[in-house]
Structure 1
């Protein structure tokens, strides 16, 4: 519960980008052009200014449903495909459900309550916008709370269809794409994330869906396993061997690195840099390590890995060197347990968070004998702010509550 209170206190902080620290003169540097300036927080619209005064709700732990052991046939995940959120179209499974199939469906009251927060809030905002009235903080907060709870509702694919939640004009796309309301940017991000999850027919509310938890009996070693692993039968797994955002949203959060691997944000269960030789790095994770990174939000100084060969860097380090030459941006994730020089306001309260795309602007070799490289990463412009404070903070209180409940129930060992 302490972490939930920390999330509440984070909402009182303002997002700032501080000046870069001085870095010692490099031993070796790349001759690269100056990269684009770091991203500045977007100037908020009047509607967004109104919404930022709302306090972050703290959800009770009791609302989180138990982990699903099995799914009904009609709720089986279709595939790991994802929609084009710029031009959303309802998935086939959704369009194939007939009205007569929904007539006798009864939505549980607890589910109905939070889904209605989304739809009622949207209706109120739209009514005001049509009258040229700016929606207030309470209107946005109602939708915000409804969306955050919706990730953990024990609902079905039929319920999603009955409530029109993937309809372009009445459902989630009306928030992030189609509606007349200028919704806050973070509402658009979270609505799009939920849309992508449900579009894939993923209705499992568990943080650890698709994960074989470490306390499961391991027949090979004859005792309980102490390591979580990916479930090879899970149809919703996505792979992280791509450049750019792909299906990921700014601020998307996971309780463990394995969960981030499951959703294709990263590719390695332990390593901090993921990529392909000759191509470059796709993603890097700021976590614990022997060398403390420097984190200034829009700018990061990130250490590669030590090499046993003084004449050649490790493959992981080489991946980032390739990015510095190609200018292909890398996805950056921050972990709660990351080690950095000095205080850090950007780390998530728990787990790990996706904070957008960074360009590898240059590097220097800090230890030639061990081929330790220090990379300068600069956040690309035209991305939403890092979600470390305010009403947009991730993890949300609901995510922290679900994580806390999982730890209390000792459902995993991470």
Structure 2
């Protein structure tokens, strides 16, 4: 848009009452305007000589020199250059015009770079009438009384508040319009271009329409497809290891307290509500306890509450909303938030339960999402396509993703369901371009060695001096040094102290440090892996943090006796 040329706007001529007042002031000093100007110039050129002349003149006239100096200064103040303002409207009998009077008596252009010219004073305006009025007020010869100045300030604040309110409403309207699904991006772009081309249109700040357009464009762009998701590693000590959601899920916020189901829960408490209230009560007692021995007992009690909620308590979205179990102030986040003083295993289990419920996974079935087929090793099980479509996961990523240390599954197919491992039977999941994403330690006749933090793990057998894809993935990990998820199975030798009692357990991230070629013809390699530092201990053995929990073991055995 072309910038308009600078224009000069003449203010109205001085009113007769103000001119008369100035002339009377000159008369009181006994000095004509020209004589006063001459004296002021003499004082400026040679102050000492002017002082002597003033003293001699005062002695001849028989007046006090100090009094003469005061009169001279008063005349100087009255004679200083002033900005002429419009004549006061006749219908307003007040002594001094206020800001609103001046607004009515002048017309100022809102075009940019307007130059406002007055008597011996030129203001470079910032294209707003408000700035011009402020400058006129500061140079006015007669100060406005304090009360009137207060009124002017209040009116000015009111006008500013109204402008801000209108600007905010316009910004919201533009944002809502740009986010509307019915709006066409092409039409919006065309409309925006036509507005910017029009010389009569106002310039819109980038924080309103232009910023919204760019934000909408950037968020609507489809990200480039990435084959591998570089998730943050657990071994890096970060404050978001146990993240609390800033916004509760939509299904939670959509439930109204006045809905039928919520009112029914208020009339009759369910066993699930009682259990969740007991869990919250235990959190409060842990936070208040100071004695170490008693606190350890309370932590063990709290573990039981959390583990029961994961396996035995049947919850619904309405029960969770009624119990306020997902809110940061009253619910599970009190256990794992950054400033919480709870053991790491308890934080991990509370986060796992919190994430599952936020994702609307309310089923207590440990085989949820699995189409089961009776068999000794459950090799015929498969993923339920309906469940997979509702809760999509992908194990093709580096790092732990949404897993927590010690997370447990009854079968290897369940690890695929939750994105921990990508193969329902194979022990190595990866590709030769990016390396290995996860491995399962399960024995299987390989000469593996498991010492907890150190693992010797064998690749699969190739033939004709050609390694398998699984071995190539491990070799790639040895080259790039990426983190590998390690899952231990109960199929390990019973003498292995890190073996889970039943099922499979996620035990953290490891890195390939070295490897040796064991069989050249079959291309069998043995890899040495080390556990990444900064993680919690492996949750094995007979201790408070053990996984699987007693409730998971009991449920596993119940299902095995029933269906396996």
**TM bracket (short chain):** 0.7 to 0.9
Instruction: Report which of the two structures shows the higher radius of gyration computed on alpha carbons.
Output: 2
CA drift of 1:84 comes to 8.4
Higher relative contact order (CA 8 A, sep 6+): 1
Runs of 4+ in 1 over 6 A off after TM superposition: none
Q: Equivalent of 1:368, from 520, 535, 549?
A: 520
**Contact 1:362 1:375 (C-alpha < 8 Å) held by counterparts:** yes
1:170 counterpart = 2:330 = yes
How far does residue 155 in structure 1 lie from its aligned partner after superposition? Answer: 1.2
1:121-170 superposed Cα distances (whole Å, 9 cap, x missing partner): 11112233xxx555612211221101000012211111111111110121
Q: Name the counterpart of 1:331.
A: 485
Q: What's 1:20 paired with?
A: none
Q: What does residue 118 of structure 2 align with?
A: none
Which residue of structure 1 lines up, in the alignment, with residue 419 of structure 2?
A: 264
Alignment of 1:214-253 (within 5 A): 214-215=373-374, 227-234=380-387, 235-253=390-408
Residue matched to 1:187: 346
Cα pair 2:463 2:522 within 8 Å, conserved: yes
Cα distance in 1 for partners of 2:301, 2:493 equals: 36
User: SS at the partner of 2:405?
Assistant: coil
Alpha-carbon distance between aligned partners in 1 of 2:560 and 2:355, rounded to the nearest angstrom: 27
Instruction: Tell me if the contact between 1:117 and 1:143 (Cα under 8 Å) persists in the aligned partners.
Output: no
Q: Which residue of 2 aligns with 1:320?
A: 474
Residue from 501, 505, 524 that aligns with 1:353: 505
Task: Indicate if the aligned counterparts of 1:286 and 1:338 stay in contact, CA closer than 8 A.
Answer: yes
Match of 2:431 among 266, 276, 281: 276
Shift of 1:109: 4.3
Contact in 1 for aligned 2:449/2:457 (Cα 8 Å): yes
What is the distance in 2 between the residues matched to 1:138 and 1:279? 46
Residues 206-250 of structure 1: CA distance to partner in whole angstroms, max 9, x if unpaired? 00000001049xxxxxxxx97111001102242211110100000
The alignment partner of 1:285 has SS state of: strand
Q: Figure out how many residues of one structure are paired with residues of the other and give that number.
A: 316
Structure 2 distance, partners of 1:113, 1:98, is: 21
1:268-307 deviation digits (Å, cap 9, x = unpaired):
0111010123111100000132213100000000011001
The answer to whether the Cα contact below 8 Å between 2:306 and 2:350 also exists between their aligned partners in 1 is yes
> What corresponds to 1:403 in structure 2?
556
The worse-fitting range, judged by mean Cα deviation, of 234-243 and 373-382 is: 234-243
Q: Deviations over 1:16-66 (max 9, x none)?
A: xxxxxxxxxxxxxxxxxxxxxxx9xx9xxxxxxxxxxxxxxxxxxxxxxxx
The residue that corresponds to 2:280 in the other structure is 119
Superposed, 1:68-79 pairs within 5 Å as: none
Q: Are 2:314 and 1:154 aligned? A: yes
- In the superposition, the TM-score normalised over structure 1's length comes to 0.72
CA distance in 1, matches of 2:371, 2:473: 30
Write the distance in 1 (CA, Å) between the matches of 2:557 and 2:482: 37
Between structures 1 and 2, the one with greater helix share: 2
Q: Distance in 1 between matches of 2:379 and 2:337?
A: 44
Q: Is the 8 A contact 1:303 1:373 kept in 2?
A: yes
Task: Tell me by how many angstroms 1:108 deviates.
Answer: 5.9
**Partner in structure 1 of residue 61 of structure 2:** none
Q: Is the 8 A contact 1:240 1:261 kept in 2?
A: yes
Could you say which residue in structure 2 is the equivalent of 1:200?
Answer: 359
> Aligned to 2:488, what secondary structure does the other structure show?
strand
Which of 442, 446, 453 is the aligned partner of 1:287? 442
State how 1:1-150 maps to structure 2 within 5 Å.
Answer: 85-89=242-246, 90-101=248-259, 102-105=262-265, 109-128=270-289, 134=292, 136-150=295-309
Quote how far apart the aligned CAs of 1:100 are: 1.4
Do 1:117 and 1:142's aligned partners in 2 also have CA atoms closer than 8 Å?
Answer: no
